[in-house]
Amino acid sequence: MNIKGMSMDQIASEEDGFFLQSMIGRADSLTVNDRTFKKIVFDSGIRNVSIDALLNLQHRINAIAEKQLPQDDAGKQLIEAMTDILPELLSQSPEYVINRLAFTSDKGDINGNASVKYVGNGDYKAFNPFNDIASHAMLSMPKEFLKEIMLSVTRKQISAYLKSSGTEMTEDELAEKCQQTVDNNINGLLQNKFMVADGDNYTTRFAL
């Protein structure tokens, strides 16, 4: 993996008793194996975290550090501190957001966003992710990009199976088998509404 032109900006602020943090990462290019992506942006942030709870937690951590306890004892006290303060941290429905994930491939632009928010009553002992977490995610990519990725993965899987089973297949037969498998998988995703065709793109959305 090779990254060029990488930069990171972080901004932390306080607003109405809440801690807010935003982080924007950028890169001119990212190369993974033989694939290069350009104009990469990752914009994320934290919202609705109580300043008082964070300060209280920091005070407890500092007090534990000053005691210079054995590692096991310090770990136990740290867990106790976090357990005590967790209900206060959760009380204002903290949220982690990815405002924008974007990059460009040779097939076109890929864009996405997501968020995870705590919406429970603060009783972490009765935590249920289906009731206490609200989340969403969206990812849109060129159709040809997805097909190319799926073909590459499928070819590796089928080739590995052929090798392990001692089965032979001509290059044309392998290419046809891979294409059929990818077409069937994409049709299945579309039919089951896991993604939709949107012009030249496939878009998938998830909400909990």
Is pLDDT of 97 > 90? yes
Q: pLDDT above 70 covers what percent of the chain?
A: 100
Query: For residue 90, with 0-12 CB atoms within 10 Å meaning exposed, 13-18 middle and 19 or more buried, which class applies?
Result: buried
pLDDT band (50, 70, 90) for residue 125:
confident
In tens, the pLDDT along 17-54 reads 888 899 999 999 999 888 899 999 999 999 999 888 88
pTM of the model: 0.80
Question: How far is the C-alpha of 40 from the C-alpha of 30, rounded, in Å?
Answer: 8
Question: How far is the C-alpha of 65 from the C-alpha of 201, rounded, in Å?
Answer: 52
Helix then strand count (H, E) for the chain reads: 5, 9
User: Tokens representing 36?
Assistant: 């290069």
Is pLDDT of 61 > 80? yes
Mean pLDDT of the chain: 92
The pLDDT assigned to 202 comes to: 97
In tens, the pLDDT along 133-186 reads 999 999 999 999 999 999 999 999 999 999 999 988 899 999 999 999 999 999
